[in-house]
Copies of this chain bind each other. A is one copy, B any other.
Amino acid sequence: MKQPLSRDLIVTEALAQLTREGLEGMSLRKVAAALETGPASLYAYVDDLQALQALVLDRALAAVDVSGGRRRGWRERVKAVLDSYVRVLLASPGLAQLAMSPIAVGPRALRILETLLGLLEEGGLTQTSAAWAVDLLMLYGTAIGVEQSNGHNPSDPESPSARALSGAPAEEYPRLHAAAEELLAGDGEARFSWAIDVLITGVLQSPAPKWVGKRVVKAKPKPSR
């Protein structure tokens, strides 16, 4: 009666658990139990937990709408793609955390990068600027995803951040105290939109890195960061 095990089945069940119960709620043991087998059996199809997480992330990112809608300017399309990306991340709590790990280089992630790169080049950015900008935009989107799926919601006065800011003593943190209202204001939507504009505007105005189009000189091995 039970379907035969397969990698696909495992990933499907794992993503369902992630979506339902978050990152901690997904485990190899629970996936195995749901598939009516022992935890050891999964290792025939998946290297380890990290590999499974990578597969789950890739599967989920397939839902990102990369079209950006039609007949709009490239800036709006960039915003639309990132918006879709963040929405997908938020649809499964814990997905954003997976996206912020070295795992996040599956084919679906590459497809998003490819799309954004195209839009930015359409916008007239040099290849180098576009490349760095894509990195920055994706990092921002992912970070917003992590923050928000962590329940960070400053406009809720009961949230830890709101409590901390409102409660910050005016003597020690005068500016924070004065700006508390502004720090807490604005829904995620508005701030996200503003931030993307800031990033794109900044990229357009910032001088491209020095070695545009040049092969990088063998980096001197200094303590890398």
Contact = CB atoms under 8 A, between A and B. Distances in A.
B105 A165 contact: yes
Please classify how large the interface on chain A is, using the bins under 10, 10 to 19, 20 to 34, 35 or more. Answer: 35 or more
A161 B130 contact: no
A25 interface: no
Contact of A117 (B117, B152, B179): B179
Interface string A164-176: 1100100011111
Contacts of A199: 198-199, 202
B179 A127 contact: yes
Contact of A140 (B107, B111, B143, B211): B143
B194 A201 contact: no
A198 B209 contact: no
Contacts of A205: 201-202, 205
Given A101-B150, A146-B100, A215-B181, A173 B206 contact: no
Given A194-B209, A202-B197, A110 B182 contact: no
A192 B136 CA distance: 10
Interface string A187-210: 111111011011111110110010
Copies of this chain: 2
Contacts of A118: 175
A160 B103 contact: yes
A183 B195 CA distance: 22
Contacts of A174: 114
Contact of A225 (B136, B159, B189): B189
A27 interface: no
A143 B150 CA distance: 14
7 contacts: A86-B225, A100-B100, A114-B173, A114-B176, A155-B219, A192-B225, A194-B206
Interface of A: 86-87, 90, 100-103, 105-107, 110-111, 113-114, 117-118, 121, 127-128, 130-136, 139-140, 142-144, 146-148, 150-153, 155, 159-161, 163-165, 168, 172-176, 178-179, 181-183, 185-192, 194-195, 197-203, 205-206, 209, 211, 213, 215-216, 219, 222, 224-225
